[in-house]
Amino acid sequence: MTKFFYQTELDDFKATAHWLALRGWSEAAGGNMSIRLDCQDSSLADLPEDDHIKLPVDVPYLAGKAVLLTGSGTRAREIGVDPLPHIGLYKISEDGRHYGWVAGNNNPSMELPAHFAIHNTLERHRPEDKAVLHTHPVSLIALCHMPEFNNGFNNAKTISDKILSMQSEARLILPEGIGFVKHELPGSLELGLKSALELKRHHLVLWQYHGLLATGETLAGAFDKVEVLEKSAQIYWQVLVAGLDPKGIKKAEIKHTLKAFGRLERYFPD
């Protein structure tokens, strides 16, 4: 079998899965993760033609690259103990239209095409982000049931402006806010393609009634952003449950903070 030894990436999967399980965000086999590799590894020589599987979408920016992806039905609480049996290594063919299994777990997450479509967009628009994390954070999913955030009109902006005004540093971490995709079939390519569009500009995309998609240079970096947004949503709910109106920090104050830290140009308020 081909060598399968990406220790840095495996450690990233392990630590992130551990924390996802601990936070209760990836219940049962919920959620999935992937890391894109640059693939200069000679052990990843071209796949035999017979092993090629056609992708439902072309991924030209991934041609010749490889992706580590969690397997179908794998549990965060188990990946967090021993990642190796749960992670598969896949290579994308030189024509960017096929992929093949190389090593490790060979029963990939149903979101493989979605992850590949997202990595294709990242490689093109934000190549520094190599990690993709999908999970089910409680307070953020609960927001999708609030009429205030579910009016069908620019939910991304309404949620970004309200939730990221709950805590002084949240908008600093996510000046461009978050993206939003209306409810789609879980695991569908449609969901992946719509998310990929949002990820050209955002690091986080909220999937209505489902969960969150996050990107980062590492899985730990993607997890950081999930933590920041989920904490802001928790503050929102806590104020609301106390019977108060979570009005949030005023827009002028948000702008002042972003300006002080040189991040105002990543903020698009209107």
Residues that bind ligand 2HA (CB under 6 A): 29-32, 111, 134, 186-187
Which spans of this chain sit near Zn ion (rule: CB under 5 A)?
A: 211
Q: Specify the residue, 29 or 57, whose C-beta has the smaller distance to ligand 2HA.
A: 29
The CA distance from 76 to 80, in Å, is 6
Which residue reads 């749960």 in tokens?
86
Q: Specify the residue, 71 or 211, whose C-beta has the smaller distance to Zn ion.
A: 211
Query: Which of ligand 2HA, Zn ion, none lies near 246, with the C-beta cut-off 5 to 8 A by kind?
Result: none
Q: Specify the residue, 2 or 208, whose C-beta has the smaller distance to Zn ion.
A: 208
Cα radius of gyration rounded to whole Å, the chain = 19
Least gap, CB of 158 to ligand 2HA (angstroms): 24
Q: What is the dihedral of CA 207, 30, 56, 34, to 10 degrees?
A: 100
CA 250, chain centre distance (Å): 29
Least gap, CB of 32 to Zn ion (angstroms): 7
Least gap, CB of 169 to ligand 2HA (angstroms): 29
Residue 212 CA neighbour count, 13 Å, CB half: 30
Residues in the chain: 270
Q: Specify the residue, 100 or 211, whose C-beta has the smaller distance to Zn ion.
A: 211
**Token output for 91:** 């290579």
